Amino acid sequence: MISLKVAGRLLEIQRVLVRHGLDEFVTATHLYRPLRFLYFLQPSTWFARRRGASRGERLRLALEELGPIFIKFGQAVSTRRDLLPPDIADELAKLQDRVPPFPGEQARAAIERALGESVGAVFGSFETAPLAAASIAQVHTATLKDGREVIVKVLRPAMRTVIRRDLEVLYALARLALRYVPDASRLRPLEIVAEYDQTIMDELDLMREAANAAQLKRNFAGSPLLYVPEVHFELCRPDVLVMERIRGVQISDIARLRALGVDIRKLAENGVAIFFTQMLRHNFFHADMHPGNIFVLTEDPANPRYAAVDFGIVGTLDPRDLEYLAGNFLAFFDRDYRRVAELHVESGWVPPGTRVDELEAAVRTVCEPIFQKPLSEISFGVVLLRLFETARRFRMEVQPQLVLLQKTLLNIEGLGRELYPELDLWKTAQPLLRAWYRERMSPRTILKEARRHLPEFLETLRATPPLLRRLVREAEGRRALFPSETAEYRRLAAELRAGARRRDRTLIACTVLALGVLWLALGAEPVIFGVVVAAGAVAYLLVRR
């Protein structure tokens, strides 16, 4: 049942769409059809509708009026210029950093409330006029008392209330979709909205953003690929963030980058390398990489360096999902469609009864025509859309935990192609994936993982003998319930006790073997000790066998 507040917001959305002359969206939306004529019949709607502006401008203005969630949608869509008409792409790009600001005096008052001091007492200087305004916050420039340049980010007024209201609308639409839209359950709309709910509510906590920035800076310490500004934690609060000011060229200003002699091809390829480095090596990635959040440091034009801002949305993956995803990429590069099908079944992304050969044939049918084009012309976004369509017949469910990663990958591809249309995403990404996979399977990595899990293994080993003894006692107790036990029953109980003792000795021998191997792997002295321990354990296990 839709609440009155949600119903009112849905009517308001329709009013805004009609007022901006976006009738086709209202007509196409089944939910609004019973109500749309109420607005077409109102004289106020006729006079208020904006038909003079272009369709792109009307869409941008409608999204701005509808608020932060709709603005963020426009930001995400704007990065795929290859999938949008140019007039709409140009207008939606303005949502990246040209959202109308709120008054600077309100921002100053909010900063003073958060810090408990006047702006003059904290900063050497503070610009009341904002440098940039985004969907949930705006940025002001300032200097610290020691003269260092910083930016001060402050949340828009009442932002949590506004976001929560529109999230309720999204939940209501998701429930309606589950009830009335065929096949909606496979899309898991409630789970996707819940994932977005957590993401955007986290984005409203600027202390979390500060911590994200610090983690990303540590991950790329010393890297020539990405620079992350320094955070001044002593001045950060949930509603206020103070960070080093970046002076670079915005990534969307391609004309200026070319004028400065920046190697555009290398810049585009570095963007792909940054994404896959974050995903594979760090498992911690900036998930809001639209052009408004990315700058280029051009001190060395032949080796341009990215600089990122706005760390409110970051993503991580479960290690198993990461391995399955990387495996799918590699299998796709190799056109190993059977492996793609097997990985989808093993990961649980399709029902367990799915026939691998049928899924393999479907994937091949989608991918082979795509591979007839040069790799540099293949759009990852188109591939994902085609595969998604194919997956319907196999009841493949949307994986909410992968939505952020998919969105970020699409953003990166769109940005890279805008910089350098000939960008070969596959050629750039494939070596990174193969290097990660080789490292993942190397003996050194396996030993490192074994060392990391050794405490858990030893704790399990310590708890195993008491557990086995308890099982034996329980078996003996159950035997007491049968006074007329047979000789066969007594023989079975004796074998259980003997088996428990053998397992105890085998577990101990395996532990000794693991310790010996770790001793050798770590290069500890004397080496002969590790050799003797490992050899003795192996000999015992062979004799026992």
3-state SS, 148-187, equals CEEEEEEECCCHHHHHHHHHHHHHHHHHHHHHHCCCHHHH
Nearest 5 degrees, angle CA 336-CA 341-CA 344?
130
Top-confidence residue, 168 or 177: 168
Report the half-sphere exposure of 290 (CA within 13 A, side-chain side): 26
pLDDT tens per residue across span 259-317: 999 999 999 999 989 988 998 889 999 988 878 889 999 999 999 999 999 998 888 88
Question: What average pLDDT does this structure show over 169-180?
Answer: 80
Of 98, 21, 24, residue with least CA distance to 64:
98
Of 412, 232, 204, residue with least CA distance to 308:
412
User: Nearest 5°: phi and psi at 527?
Assistant: -60, -35
Residue type, 214: A
Positions marked catalytic: 288
pLDDT at 339 over 80: yes
pLDDT at 343 over 80: yes
Task: List the structure tokens of 272.
Answer: 């792909």
Taking all residues of the chain, what is their mean pLDDT, rounded to a whole number?
78
pLDDT tens per residue across span 344-377: 888 887 888 888 999 899 889 888 887 777 666 7
Distance in angstroms (rounded) separating the CA atoms of residues 401 and 381: 18
Count of residues in the chain = 545
pLDDT at 481 over 60: no
pLDDT tens per residue across span 100-145: 889 999 999 999 999 999 999 999 999 999 998 888 899 999 999 9
Task: List the structure tokens of 320.
Answer: 């198993």
The full set of domain ranges for the chain reads 4-96, 160-200, 251-441, 443-544
Distances (CA, A) of 418 to 30, 82, 86, 248, 398: 35, 8, 12, 19, 28
Instruction: Return the SS3 of 270.
Output: helix
- Pick from 77-86, 359-368, 454-463 the range whose average pLDDT is largest: 359-368
pLDDT at 85 over 70: yes
pLDDT at 289: 80
Distances (CA, A) of 486 to 23, 472, 498: 85, 18, 19
Name the E strands within 213-349.
226-227, 240-244, 249-250, 285-286, 294-297, 305-308, 314-315
